[in-house]
Structure 1
Amino acid sequence: MNRPRQRDQPMPLRADSYLASDEEGATARPFEWRKCPVLGVVLMQSVRYENILPLTSTCNLRCLFCSNAQNPPGVEVFSVPPLPLPLVRRLIPFLNPRRKIIIGEAASRISEGEPLTHPEFWKIVELVRKYYPYTPVQITTNGKLLNRVGVERLSELQPVVVNLSLNSATPSGRRILMGDDSGSVLAAASWMAELGMPYHGSIVACPHLVGWGDIRRSWRFLRDNGARTVRIFLPGFTRYAPRFLRFPPQEMYRRLQEFVEEEAALSATPLILEPAPVGGDAEPFRAEVEGVIPGSPAAAAGIRRGDVIKRVRGKDVRSRVEAYRLLERLRCPVLDIEGRGRVSFRKGRGEAPGVVMNYDIDRDLVKRLAGAIANNRAGNALLLASVWGRPRLESILPELCRSGAQVQIRAVPSVIFGGSIASAGLLTLSDFRRALNRVVEEEGDVFDLVLLPGIAFDRWGRDLLGRPWWELRRCTRGKVDIVT
């Protein structure tokens, strides 16, 4: 909650202490990151706190919807060459074996590319498996470089799950969206299905570019080729995007909801939309099952799409996130399902339950918000939230007011990124300042506590432009803090 202390920060990796060289002792060349000393710390934070092992920012496709070309000036994003093997060796021991290890995704300010473009990819994956023989590894890839031999090698390194970023299964769609007219990705999906390699598919939905028929054919291709789940993503664009990439966000989201509901009702393969829709007004956090993975423990127990979980092991569940985490943690969960009674199943060590649910709200976040209000003895608190986050927070407003405080929630539009951006992670100090000044103009400086979403700031408290959140204290007489 408070400003990070220096001792909480990990020891930085010295960029000049690593040399890029091969195993045979070829001539070494200096690792060129010494010009950016903070990058070593960002790498270490990604590994230690997110359990993500970054490999490279290099990508072998040029997706039209890629965010890298749409960032505002001044955004702190690192684009890195393939990490030298000695550096990767140094990072691997800092991964947490009790959490899933992730390769190919970005949760930090490092722009993640296609991991299979790394010249030492297979050696790195084998090193990870040697170091952590039982820890699940998740690899996100566009599949272009994943041939049959690669699929067989991954199958031998279980437990491994692949997230296949397909986006389109048609030659014309792939050519338009990614500049790719090869069929190698489709072959990779078929090989994974043939060899029983667990994988999940994803599609960034661009019907304004390729048509709804392309999305339907692409999702059904994944369904028919063994994908355990398929995610449909609402594409994002900033105010820097070219005009042909833009669309009405609310209308697009509504139509995607209709598409997903229509297709999911006809399929055994779970199909979900991200960002997840907010639940109904009456029960916004109703723990409804969106789908069940065929062949999973939950499927064997007879759990099906549309079931509503009321209790797990006798404990009332208050959100979908809470229900799912209980199912994930317990080896032998016992569920009370609305209108169906009690169901139980057994799962193996590290095995997923197989239930698919939309994300709603983390109950730990609710506790932290309520605790921040109570601990600060706030009588009049203001929560600044993202456009996507506000409806969920409004649903828990009665819980936040139990200490007797008046609590108001305001949505903060993204002005710096603009476009369709509506998530908290892309809000900047400037956006928060603009929103707070507007509230103060309308209602006066009456709030004794202003809370910000911690996800908008890094571990030093800086936004994506490098500005610290505590600068907002100049805009109000009340206390300003973040909740992570």
Structure 2
Amino acid sequence: MGGRTLDATTAGDRVEPVRDRSPGHKTGRSFLPTPTRRRRVPRGYESVDGIILTEPRIEAIRKELQAILKVAQLECDGQAVEVDGFRLREIADWADYPTSLSDIFWHLSSVCNFSCEFCYEKGNPADLPIQNMPRMATHEEIVTRLRHYDPRSGRGIFSLRTAINEPFANPRAIDYLRLMREKAPDELISFVTNGSYLTEEVVKGLGDLQPLFFNLSIYSVDPYVRRTVLRDRKGDTAVRAVELLAQHRIPFMTNLVMWPSIPFSDMENTIAHVAENRAAVVRVCLGGNSRYLPGDWEDFRIADYWPKVVAEVERIRDRYPIPILIEPNSFVRRDTEAVVDGVIRDSPADLAGIRRGDRIHSVNGVAIGSRMQLISELRRGAKNMFRPPGVVGMTAQVHSRGRETVLLGVRRDGVDRTYTLERHDPRSIGTYPYGQISSFDDFVLGLIVTDTLRYSSLKSARRILEHRKARRALVLTSELILPILRYMIDKTGAFAGFDVHVRVAENRYFGGNINIGDLLVVEDFVHAIGQFVEETGDTPDLVLIPASPFATSPWVRDLTGKPWTDIERLTGVPVEIVECSPLVF
């Protein structure tokens, strides 16, 4: 980007490394990128592939220009002009996209200096529309994005969807964070980093730029695992970064991916290390692979492996004073009960004696019937928060430090207790990490409660059935969500009076052992409908599908860029979308 313009280009075939010749920075050849394909994009331009999901009108412009170029030769001063890209004239006209400082920070780099054996980017299908070559944002791009960003409305220039990145691979990352902090001094900035660039100098710089909260994907503390599974070439920098973050009181959470080549002993050692240095939360991610992931994974059976990981987490969980979550949580929590999943150390909830497994049955006198109702009551008054791509997790709106007293009704072992908690209890505010995250709405009182389906989604589904007068309907969901959905239907009788069939739409597009609803695409739903009609010999009056697989695009498109309306067009069966939030992706 430069000035009032944004560049875009069609993709070529030849491979060339991206070279950023800013001071002290080596060429792109020094990085170890993980994308499954390479596309040549001239420096200063963006690949249209990475914009299709967020701003499909750019793709429409490209198609129109390509159609014109098939029948006309453009010229300038009588000389033929070969066109390989185009420039938007007034970028301000395109600055109405939901965004944040976190999203702008995401654009710094699409380079990753690791090459993890389990990296899902390696398993992306070749036709997935994503900017899939290593690139560094130009200074002009970041400055332009900041110029057109309005912190009050949370609007700015549309995002570029890139392969998962390491933002600190950009040597000017701290400089750009300072510019962002000038733009919005109090806005929370969140991101994902593997920690390999978090030297003492960088961490010290981060300490002056709070509020920050980020996901430190350390994965392992074992040198052999880091060298052979993660392909980490930067020694123990990431492991030492955990201690530096604690010294400078910068709050963070940690991700671990459990994978067949990572021993359980390493998982516990890593949890022990981050717990000792007061990470806010540890998230143990259950690994899986698409059919495109390089390597021989045919014998990787998640039906066998995932329960073993869960059992190991349960075995060691109580040894460490840190919330340990399992993701996807829907694999282990197949109900909607308002149960506490973890408590932040030294938080008001911790000091009061609230424990993991306690059931919250009331908040300030309001009866609580589900986890999502509990989350809503705890965050009451919070504004909606745009969560940047790739930053899934525990960060949300930052609130003022006004006095907030909450009365909780808690049931433990059949006995009811009442607790009065002060969100900014002086005994907790001076502690790390709660003192730094007490104003984040996902950490109210230090309670960790994972999300799930909302009962309001079932109510919406019933209203749609009534409005469409559909007597026989097909509801499509994912393998992971099916048990929870059946639990909710049985509990509420939501579809009483209707002939409703609930089926799983398989993740055929990604294949392998992927079973996540947020990764379903149009062709998966089309196949599921066809399979249902073939098996039953009948066509439903209406098909209901979840909105979450289309939530990554404000244009309600799936990960391949196709609109959900294509499902009805391709099957001839009426389809409606039911609002629900992404739970995993």
Q: Mark yes or no: TM-score above 0.5.
A: yes
Q: Does residue 392 of structure 1 match 2:484?
A: yes
* Corresponding residue number in structure 2 for 1:479: 574
Q: Does residue 141 of structure 1 match 2:193?
A: yes
* Corresponding residue number in structure 2 for 1:67: 120
Q: CA distance change for structure 1 residues 287 and 381 in 2, over 3 Å: closer, same or farther?
A: same
For residues 91-112 of structure 1, what are the alpha-carbon distances to aligned partners after superposition, in whole Å with 9 as ceiling and x for unaligned? 345465698x9xxxxx984323
Q: Does residue 465 of structure 1 match 2:560?
A: yes
Return the letter of the residue paired with 2:253: H
Mapped to 1, the partners of 2:325 and 2:333 lie a distance apart of 17
Return the letter of the residue paired with 2:405: C
In the alignment, is the contact (CA less than 8 A) between 1:51 and 1:95 conserved in 2?
A: no
Mapped to 2, the partners of 1:264 and 1:358 lie a distance apart of 17
Q: CA distance change for structure 1 residues 473 and 230 in 2, over 3 Å: closer, same or farther?
A: same
Q: Secondary structure at the match of 2:475?
A: strand
Q: How does 1:301-380 map to 2 (within 5 A)?
A: 301-329=352-380, 331-338=404-411, 339-348=415-424, 350-351=439-440, 352-353=443-444, 354-380=446-472
* Corresponding residue number in structure 1 for 2:140: 86
Aligned with residue 191 of structure 1, among 229, 234, 244: 244
Q: How does 1:59-208 map to 2 (within 5 A)?
A: 59-79=112-132, 81-92=135-146, 94=149, 109-180=161-232, 182-206=235-259, 208=260
Mapped to 1, the partners of 2:316 and 2:175 lie a distance apart of 40
Query: What displacement does 1:176 show?
Result: 1.7
Query: What displacement does 1:88 show?
Result: 2.2
Q: CA distance change for structure 1 residues 473 and 98 in 2, over 3 Å: closer, same or farther?
A: closer
For residues 148-186 of structure 1, what are the alpha-carbon distances to aligned partners after superposition, in whole Å with 9 as ceiling and x for unaligned? 122222122221123110111010110121112501111
Query: What displacement does 1:381 show?
Result: 1.8
Query: What displacement does 1:404 show?
Result: 3.0
Return the letter of the residue paired with 1:366: L
Query: What displacement does 1:341 show?
Result: 1.9
Q: CA distance change for structure 1 residues 341 and 155 in 2, over 3 Å: closer, same or farther?
A: same
In the alignment, is the contact (CA less than 8 A) between 2:102 and 2:190 conserved in 1?
A: no
TM-score by length of 2: 0.71
Q: Does residue 436 of structure 1 match 2:489?
A: no
Mapped to 1, the partners of 2:322 and 2:418 lie a distance apart of 24
Q: Does residue 401 of structure 1 match 2:494?
A: yes
Mapped to 2, the partners of 1:355 and 1:140 lie a distance apart of 22
Aligned with residue 301 of structure 2, among 248, 261, 268: 248
Mapped to 2, the partners of 1:51 and 1:404 lie a distance apart of 46
* Corresponding residue number in structure 1 for 2:511: 418
Q: Which has the larger radius of gyration?
A: 2
Q: CA distance change for structure 1 residues 153 and 364 in 2, over 3 Å: closer, same or farther?
A: farther
Return the letter of the residue paired with 1:413: E
Aligned with residue 221 of structure 1, among 273, 284, 288: 273
Query: What displacement does 1:45 show?
Result: 8.3
Gaps of 5+ in 1: 1-11, 24-28, 102-106
In the alignment, is the contact (CA less than 8 A) between 2:507 and 2:519 conserved in 1?
A: yes
Q: CA distance change for structure 1 residues 319 and 217 in 2, over 3 Å: closer, same or farther?
A: same
Return the letter of the residue paired with 1:471: D
In the alignment, is the contact (CA less than 8 A) between 1:312 and 1:333 conserved in 2?
A: yes
Q: Does residue 14 of structure 1 match 2:66?
A: no
When structure 1 is superposed on structure 2, of 453-462 and 333-342 the one drifting more is 453-462
Q: Secondary structure at the match of 1:329?
A: coil
Mapped to 2, the partners of 1:315 and 1:13 lie a distance apart of 52
Aligned with residue 455 of structure 1, among 526, 531, 548: 548
Mapped to 2, the partners of 1:45 and 1:60 lie a distance apart of 33
* Corresponding residue number in structure 1 for 2:26: none
Gaps of 5+ in 2: 10-19, 24-41, 57-93, 382-403, 425-437, 580-585
Higher relative contact order (CA 8 A, sep 6+): 2
Query: What displacement does 1:322 show?
Result: 2.6
Q: Secondary structure at the match of 1:140?
A: strand
Corresponding pairs, count:
457
In the alignment, is the contact (CA less than 8 A) between 2:51 and 2:130 conserved in 1?
A: no
Q: Secondary structure at the match of 1:128?
A: helix
Q: For the aligned residues, what is the CA RMSD?
A: 3.1
When structure 1 is superposed on structure 2, of 185-194 and 90-99 the one drifting more is 90-99
Return the letter of the residue paired with 2:408: L
Return the letter of the residue paired with 2:258: A
Mapped to 1, the partners of 2:211 and 2:420 lie a distance apart of 24
Q: CA distance change for structure 1 residues 397 and 190 in 2, over 3 Å: closer, same or farther?
A: same
Query: What displacement does 1:34 show?
Result: 6.6
